[in-house]
Amino acid sequence: MIIVERIEGRELEKRYSSTGMMVKQIETDTLYSEAVDIIPCPFTYEETDIPIDDEPLEAQEVLDVIFGGRE
């Protein structure tokens, strides 16, 4: 189930899975461990069966994901 929480003091909402799974933004097929949007939220989300990876990415791994790897 997707949990929706309003971020106190801001016009933002956070969405995440109650069971530790990734959530998918339906309009773009983008996966998130947590999604934060403005209120009113223009997007819809669904829970996936993909577990959230417990190990954070290293800085170079993040850059590789963003820019498509090293040359």
The two three-digit tokens of residue 6, written as one number:
């309003």
Strand pairing partners for 7? 12
**What is the per-residue pLDDT for 34?**
92
Segment 24-45, tens digit of pLDDT? 999 998 899 999 999 999 999 9
Count of residues in the chain: 71
CA-CA-CA-CA torsion for 39, 41, 46, 51, nearest 10 degrees? -50
Report the half-sphere exposure of 38 (CA within 13 A, side-chain side).
1
Over residues 7-15, the mean pLDDT reads 92
pTM of the model: 0.70
